[in-house]
Amino acid sequence: MEIINEYYQWVKWLHYLAFISWMAGLFYLPRLFVYHSENKDNVGFVKVIKIQEEKLYYYIQNPAMIITVLTGILMLIVHKEILLSHGYIHAKLLFAILLLLYHFDNLRYLKQLKNDTCKKSGKFFRAYNEIPTLLLIGIISMMILTPF
């Protein structure tokens, strides 16, 4: 783990970069769900949206989430005694777990929309799209409060 400690700032940089990319996907995918659910009768439009939804989830959002989680675990392993002794990290981890649950809930809706079985409205997805904003506020607050 000494090598990770030596490159800790780079791991942290990658963590932040991946987190920002992941959040971009988490903000945009539910917006696509809004357009999808509000335009179900427009077959050509829905066909394009389905492609965008899948590409966003599988090629941007998923890899960014994986990198975020892996680099977060690395940082915890290297500095667990320091990090886990502060209360903010427990709150940050809780927000991160909730964000992971939201990420996988996106997959559930992605599959439903792909199979034309989703009964949720555009109004629902507009409200649903606010969840990552609330979690982001908590996570960023905890990131800023870190002693590193």
Q: How many CA atoms lie within 13 A of 129 on its CB side?
A: 18
Binding positions for heme are 15, 92
Spatial distance between the Cα atoms of 97 and 94, rounded to a whole number of angstroms: 5
Q: Are 15 and 66 within 8 A, CB to CB?
A: no
The domain in which residue 95 lies consists of 2-144
Tens digit of pLDDT for each residue in 50-85?
999 999 999 999 999 999 999 999 988 888 877 777
Cα 109 to its chain centre, rounded Å, is 15
In 3D space, the residue among 95, 111, 116, 130 whose CA is nearest the CA of residue 19 turns out to be: 95
The model's pLDDT over 2-38, given as tens digits with 9 standing for 90+, comes to: 777 788 899 999 999 999 999 999 999 999 999 999 9
Number of domains in the chain: 1
Q: What is the pLDDT of residues 109-131, one digit of tens each?
A: 999 999 999 999 999 999 999 99
Binding residues: 15, 92
Closest by Cα among 46, 25, 26 to 36: 46
Quick one: which H or E segment has residue 100? Answer: helix 87-114
Amino acid (1-letter code) at residue 44: G
